[in-house]
Each structure stands twice: as structure tokens, then as C-alpha cells.
């Protein structure tokens, strides 16, 4: 039986995934973008497969082979998708992945992220100053989105006047429906980033994108023009979206656990634990981007046939009771070790230091500024995005005063 991962599943993601972990941890599945795949939900299998060389990431090569077998070329939309996303390091195998990741790591350093702290903290304060005490505030649209937009755009060197469009692009690209809006967002983002890169090549700044251009220009085969665009889009869209929901999910978790919120307010040094526990308990990432089996993979719970699309749910793995005792309890005293929200091994997210910094600053600012922070709607009125990739709320209405 093939399970359907759809919008209904997104509204009860933990319940849906818990049943699969118990009865079918390796099972046939379909999504809005994948008509046929194998969904893996247990921690041990997910962790192992993230770093398994038999699980391949180069989906463009797979698509080209399949198109050739059908005696056709890739469609213009397929070409756009693979140019915009499919040649980024997320969809490459070694040695290409190693080359691309090394370049990103060279520019995307913890030191560069730490330099953002004073300005990021000031922006957080400015956003909180603007909260109206007499009306509900949407923490997604009015706080998490502008804060994380500022952070990633500052790192990349995106001009201030251009930043408003990126959240719309992120939603269109990362949500479930790969319809017209998806391809329109990809086309707009590629056009914008291509022009921005040419501008920075002529007039570089002190930013990550200028560094990537300089590295590529020093050695022309390091990053091709298309790889520069795809890498920029990956950092801009993927890093931004996940950080938005890390912040919103953290606030939701704390408001739903008054004892944990009280413990944090009594000892703000627990904020590091809070971020790690949110990443485990309410990960902003559900199912990792699609990969495929380069050869048949035998697992204790079943076989993944050669060529089959592989979907790995870190949201499910992070609630696996065989690894995390009492996994459905939000507990900020846990060590936080072992969650898979940033991936694992060579596919560990290079943006993890920035996401953690954003989460810590945002949570600290909110709980210290607003001692009466609470939901402005009933919990069952909240809606989760219809996305297999992202696990985040469409909005989070709160009140900041009694």
C-alpha cells in the first residue's frame, strides 16, 4: 500500500509519521512532486541513508537518463529547475559536492556569522519595538521573516531595497505544489541572481557572494556561472525558510509548555538547549529533498529498489523513541545531541551556525521583552504549510500583553 503525503498529513505530521514508524518505517509513498517513492521514517535508517554512498543526489543526471530512454529532451521547465536548483551542492555527489561545499565553507564561516550578532540583535529589537500592544501580532510575518531575511541578505550582500521578494520566492519554491507559481519564482530568482552576480563581479563588496565570485574567478573551473546562481539560491531560499520556522516553532513550543518557558525565563543560559530541543521536537524540516537509490539497498524493514526515489523524514527520526526517551515531551534540559535537523556527515548544513544564532537571539529577545506572550487563537486554528520539505506554520498570531 502506498501512503500519500499531502496537505492533510502536514496538519498532523507527528501522528501521521508515528504510525509509519510503528507499522511501516520503510514504505511506498507519493507526494505532490513524487508520484512514486520510498519514505523512510526510523532514526537508524534515516541517519545511515543520509550518508550512504548508494543514495545518490544527482537528480539531474537521473532525469537526463530517463528522458533519453524516452527519446526526448528535458522540457524547458525541467531545464529551469535543474539549472536553478539541481546543480547546487544539495543535489550533487562527490567529487562535485566536495568541491562546492568546500567553496561555501570557505566563505560561510562561523566567524562571518558571528560578526552579524550586534546588527542582528539590533534588528530584532527594532522589530519588537514595532509590535502593537492592542492587536494580535503574527510572529511569522512580522518578526521571523524580516529578521531572517536581514541575516541571510546581509551575508550574501543583497541590496536593502531588493529584499522584500525573497519570502514569496521561498514559499513558492519550498511548498508542495510545483505549479506555475513554482516555476515563476524560480525564473525570477535566477534572473535576479544572475544580474546581481554580474554586478558584484564588476563591483565586489565585503560579502559572501562576492567571495564566491572571487574564488571562482581565480580558478575558472571551481564554480561555473550556473553553479554560482544555484549556490546563491540554495543559501538564500533554503537557509532563510528553515530559520523562519525554527524561530516560530520555538515560540510555539514554549507557549505550549509553560513549565519550560518558566525555566528558560529563570535561566536564560538554557536558550542553547531550547534551540536544540526545538530542532529535535519540532524540526523546521520534515522530509529532506528527494534522492534516489543508485543500487538496491537492503534494510531490515524492506528493500529500496535501484533507481527508486528516496524520501528521508528527519521530523520523524527526531521523535524515534529508540533514540530519544519520551520523544513526544518537549524538554529543554535534554542535551540535544543526535537530532538530524541539520543533516549528517558530508551533507551537514553549512548554515547551522547562522540558524542557531538567529534562534537564540530571537527566543531570548521575545521571552525577555514579553512576559505575557501567548497565543491569540485556539491551537487548533493554527495551520501548517502544505509542504513535504518544510514543517512550519503559515502564521503564528500572538498577543504580547495581558
Q: What is the pLDDT of residues 220-260, one digit of tens each?
A: 557 788 889 999 898 888 778 899 999 999 999 999 999 99
Q: Report how far residue 168's alpha carbon sits from residue 240's, in angstroms, rounded to the nearest whole number.
A: 11
> What is the predicted pLDDT for the residue at 356?
94
The answer to which of 16-25, 48-57, 209-218 has the lowest mean pLDDT is 209-218
C-alpha cell at 66: 530517463
CA distance 27 to 8: 18
Distance CA 336, CA 334 (A): 5
Give the pLDDT confidence of 267-307 residue by residue, as tens digits.
999 999 999 999 999 999 999 999 999 999 999 888 999 99
pLDDT of residue 315: 98
105 vs 208: CA distance, rounded Å: 10
Whole-prediction pTM: 0.94
CATH 1.10.630.10 assigned to domain 3-399? The reply is: yes
What span, in angstroms and rounded, lies between the C-alpha atoms of 362 and 374?
16
pLDDT at 58 over 70: yes
Residues with Cβ within 8 Å of residue 283, at least 6 apart in sequence? 249, 314, 315, 318, 339, 340, 341, 391
Give the whole-angstrom CA distance, residue 340 versus residue 348: 9
Contact between 18 and 375 (Cβ < 8 Å): no
Half-sphere exposure of 102 (CA within 13 A, CB side): 10
pLDDT score recorded for residue 67: 87
> Tell me: the pLDDT tens digits for 358-398?
999 999 999 999 999 999 999 999 999 999 999 999 999 99
Residue 196's pLDDT is what? 94
pLDDT digits (tens, 9 = 90+) for 66-121: 889 899 998 998 899 888 888 899 899 999 898 888 888 866 677 878 888 999 99
- Please tell me the predicted confidence (pLDDT) of residue 107: 61
pLDDT in tens, 312-342: 999 999 999 999 999 999 999 987 789 999 9
pLDDT digits (tens, 9 = 90+) for 120-172: 999 999 999 999 888 999 999 999 999 999 999 988 899 988 988 888 888 88
Give the helix/strand (H/E) hosting 55: strand 55-56
Amino acid at each position: 500500500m502506498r501512503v500519500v503525503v499531502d496537505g492533510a498529513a502536514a496538519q498532523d505530521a507527528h501522528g501521521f509519521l508515528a504510525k509509519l514508524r510503528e507499522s511501516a518505517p520503510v514504505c511506498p509513498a507519493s507526494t505532490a512532486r513524487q508520484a512514486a517513492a520510498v519514505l523512510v521514517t526510523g532514526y537508524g535508517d534515516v541517519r545511515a541513508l543520509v550518508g550512504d554512498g548508494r543514495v545518490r543526489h544527482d537528480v539531474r543526471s537521473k532525469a537526463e537518463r530517463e528522458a533519453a530512454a524516452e527519446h526526448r529532451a528535458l522540457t524547458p521547465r525541467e531545464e529551469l529547475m535543474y539549472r536553478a536548483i539541481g546543480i547546487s551542492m544539495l543535489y550533487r555527489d562527490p567529487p562535485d559536492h566536495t568541491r562546492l561545499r568546500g567553496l561555501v565553507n570557505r566563505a560561510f564561516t562561523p566567524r562571518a556569522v558571528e560578526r552579524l550578532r550586534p546588527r542582528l540583535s539590533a534588528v530584532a529589537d527594532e522589530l519588537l519595538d514595532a509590535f502593537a500592544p492592542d492587536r494580535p501580532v503574527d510572529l511569522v510575518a512580522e518578526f521571523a521573516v524580516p529578521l531572517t531575511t536581514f541575516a541571510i541578505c546581509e551575508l550574501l550582500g543583497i541590496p536593502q531595497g531588493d529584499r522584500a521578494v525573497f519570502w514569496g520566492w521561498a514559499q513558492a519554491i519550498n511548498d508542495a505544489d510545483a505549479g506555475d507559481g513554482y516555476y515563476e519564482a524560480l525564473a525570477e530568482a535566477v534572473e535576479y541572481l544572475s544580474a546581481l552576480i554580474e554586478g558584484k563581479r564588476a563591483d565586489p563588496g565585503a560579502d559572501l557572494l562576492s567571495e564566491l565570485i572571487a574564488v571562482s574567478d581565480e580558478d575558472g573551473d571551481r564554480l561555473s556561472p550556473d553553479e554560482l546562481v544555484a549556490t546563491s539560491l540554495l543559501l538564500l531560499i533554503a537557509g532563510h525558510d528553515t530559520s523562519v520556522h525554527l524561530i516560530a516553532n520555538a515560540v510555539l513550543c514554549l507557549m505550549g509548555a509553560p513549565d519550560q518557558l518558566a525555566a528558560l525565563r529563570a535561566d536564560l543560559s538554557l536558550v542553547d538547549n531550547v534551540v536544540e530541543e526545538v530542532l529535535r521536537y519540532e524540526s523546521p524540516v520534515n522530509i529532506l529533498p528527494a534522492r534516489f537509490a543508485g543500487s538496491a539497498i537492503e534494510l531490515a524493514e524492506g528493500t529500496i529498489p535501484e533507481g527508486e526515489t528516496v524520501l528521508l523524514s528527519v521530523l520523524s527520526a527526531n521523535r524515534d523513541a529508540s533514540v530519544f526517551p519520551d520523544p513526544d515531551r518537549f524538554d529543554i534540559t535534554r542535551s540535544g545531541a543526535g537530532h538530524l535537523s541539520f543533516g549528517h556527515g558530508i551533507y551537514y548544513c553549512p548554515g547551522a551556525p547562522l540558524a542557531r544564532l538567529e534562534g537564540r537571539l530571537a527566543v531570548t529577545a521575545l521571552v525577555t521583552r514579553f512576559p505575557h506572550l501567548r497565543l491569540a487563537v485556539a491551537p487548533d486554528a493554527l495551520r501548517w504549510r502544505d509542504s513535504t520539505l518544510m514543517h512550519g506554520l503559515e502564521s503564528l498570531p500572538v498577543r504580547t500583553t495581558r
